[in-house]
Copies of this chain bind each other. A is one copy, B any other.
Amino acid sequence: MSTQQYERGPAMRDVAAAAGVSAQTVSRVLNEHPNVQDGTRRRVLAVIDELGYRRNNTARALVTGRSKTIGVLTLATNNYARSSLALGVELGAREAGYTVNSVTSSLSSQSVIDAVSRLVYQGVDGIIIAAPLQEAVEQVAKITARIPTVNTDGSAGLGDRAVGVDQDIAAMVATKHLLDLGHKTVWHLAGPIEWSDASSRLNSWRRTLQEAGREVPPELHGDWSPESGYRNGLILGRMPEVTAIFVASDEMAFGVIRALTELGRRIPEDVSVVGIDDIDLAAYSTPPLTTVRQSFEDTGRRAVHRLVAQITNPKIATTADIVAPTLVVRASTAPPPAG
């Protein structure tokens, strides 16, 4: 049990008075301006230490117009992509001397718009949008017109603000890997198509099959959760002709593998499974999961760098910053069963 009383700390003028200088001089010491005599500087620093003074960043933000804060918008779900992106953003921000302000939203346009508003409203210097915008694109663009913005979902209409991993290549690599192993065709469990990542993967999978002259089976849909993977796995596992499945996320792939295993289909002897993301657990599933590695942490970092560049120099020219993912072959894929 405890009770407590909180109050404001000393202000710059208190430090100034105690050190016998003006507030401006304290400010100069704090901001490491060159024109301060060494004795003065030391005296001020001593008083600061003694009084336990901390500069009030709110006041500073008000006068400079910069809060040294970056806003991040994510969906209110807890999947690997979201959390590692958030981590990358935080690390990148710290390196750049920024703080991170995060808000979450649901899929609805209104919710996204509200969330972005909250960030602007809060006075962030820039925004990283890591959620699908869909119909909200225009309104969000209007709100963020005055603020540097980076998008990691690749939602249409924000092409030159995009930072991320090439999802077309990711899906192509995964699909090709299975075809190269000798599978006649590849089935696909897609993510929610509201996500542009998910629809990119879906389209690229389809195109890859078409270009190879293969039959394109109907795709199934999940919601990124392992549970949805399991549900769809129970369907796919019942069809004998299914020998290769490209799953749009590792987490769903875990569910698929579980379902197939329960149905008595061996992996990879009977069915091959490929995921996307290369989550930390992918190497430790049974069997270890073949997947396409894309570092969300790296994406987060790059998004921050891009954003900070734009904050520092608003007139800078920007182009999309998209990198290619790499295939990680493990034990969940093999040639199709003979016959």
A143 to chain B minimum Cβ distance, whole angstroms, is: 9
With an 8 A cutoff between CB atoms, is A104 at the interface? yes
Please, which residues of chain B bring their CB within 8 A of the CB of A146?
A: 6-9
Q: Are A54 and B117 in touch, CB under 8 angstroms?
A: yes
Q: Is the CB of A258 within 8 A of B280?
A: no
**Contacts known (A257-B286, A286-B286); A100 close to B102, Cβ less than 8 A:** yes
The complex places the Cα of A5 from the Cα of B317 at a distance, in Å, of: 11
Given the complex, which residues of B lie within 8 Å of A2, measured CB to CB? 160-161, 317-318
Which residue of B4, B87, B123, B257 contacts A284 across the interface (Cβ within 8 Å)? Answer: B257
Say yes or no: is A156 at the interface (Cβ < 8 Å to chain B): no
A82 at the interface (CB under 8 A from B): yes
Query: Which of A18-26, A57-65, A168-176, A180-188 interfaces with chain B?
Result: A57-65
The residue on B at minimum CB distance from A282 is: B226
Q: Mark A43-79, 1 if CB is under 8 A from B, else 0.
A: 0000000000011111101100101010000001110
Chain B residues, CB < 8 A from A104: 87, 90-91, 94
Chain A 101-121 interface mask (CB, 8 Å, partner B; 1/0): 111100000000000011011
With A1-B317, A255-B284 known to touch, is A87 a contact of B94 (CB < 8 Å)? no
Bound-state Cα–Cα, A160 to B4, Å: 12
Collect the chain B residues with CB atoms within 8 Å of residue A254's CB.
Answer: 281, 284-285
Number of chain A interface residues as a range: 35 or more
A165 within 8 A of B: no
Where the two chains meet, the residues of A that have a C-beta atom closer than 8 Å to any C-beta of B are 1-9, 54-59, 61-62, 65, 67, 69, 76-78, 80, 82-84, 86-87, 90-91, 94, 99-104, 117-118, 120-123, 146-148, 160-161, 225-227, 229-230, 251, 254-255, 257-258, 261, 280-281, 283-286, 288, 297, 314-319
Top 7 A-B pairs ranked by shortest CB distance?
A83-B83, A286-B286, A258-B284, A58-B123, A254-B284, A226-B284, A58-B61
A sample of 10 more A-B contacts (CB under 8 A), given A86-B102, A90-B102, A101-B102, is A2-B317, A2-B318, A4-B315, A62-B62, A78-B84, A82-B83, A90-B103, A226-B280, A227-B280, A254-B281
